[in-house]
Amino acid sequence: MSTDIRRGPDGLARCAWVGDDPEYRRYHDEEWGFPLHGDRALFEEMSLEGFQAGLSWITILRKRPRFREVFLGFEPGLVAGFGDDDVERLMADAGIIRNRAKILATISNAQLVSEMAEGELDALLWSFAPDAWARPASFADVPATTAESDAMSKALRTRGFRFVGPTTMYALMQSAGMVDDHVDGCWRAA
């Protein structure tokens, strides 16, 4: 078996990045690479990917329930109304990533999403999904960015979005199922 694949306690072969963590295993099996649609869901994913920058995704997964609670389910219209008191409340909350720039970016991004027509964020993000995608044979074949994630990042930044760099947007494309980077040999790649 490739070093890019790891057999779990249930006998299933998975992408090796899952390791032994049950939450990572659940995320890999039930979320990562599944098509994700809807402005609220994609705003949440964009926000969490922004918070993840510089950290491990498992850290975000473990804190996601609290993120959802304090960011009011990532409803863009509600988050768009956050003010200075909310920023300070969030900065004091050890249950999330307390990074002022990322908190402010999430609020600012929510304001931008709130100004968009219903379904516009979904349509915009999915417009960058490649028409064809070659399954990676190994993790060495998985890029950090692509022409599509570069273009997505540029389009979002042009509209004023923050914490949406090309690497972060490629991670969004992976998690939202715009690309499927389950490597050959993973049961999800079948």
Would you name the residues annotated as active-site residues? Answer: 27, 49, 57
Relative to beta strand 13-15, strand 5-7 is antiparallel
How many whole angstroms separate alpha carbon 137 and alpha carbon 142?
9
Per-residue CA distances from 86 to 47, 71, 99, 124 (Å)? 16, 10, 13, 29
Phi, psi dihedral angles at 34 (to 5 degrees): -85, 135
Q: CB atoms < 10 A from the CB of 160, how many?
A: 12
Residues 6 or more apart from 108 whose CB is under 8 A from it?
160, 161, 162
How many whole angstroms separate alpha carbon 13 and alpha carbon 164?
32
DSSP, res 13: E
Q: CB atoms < 10 A from the CB of 3, how many?
A: 8
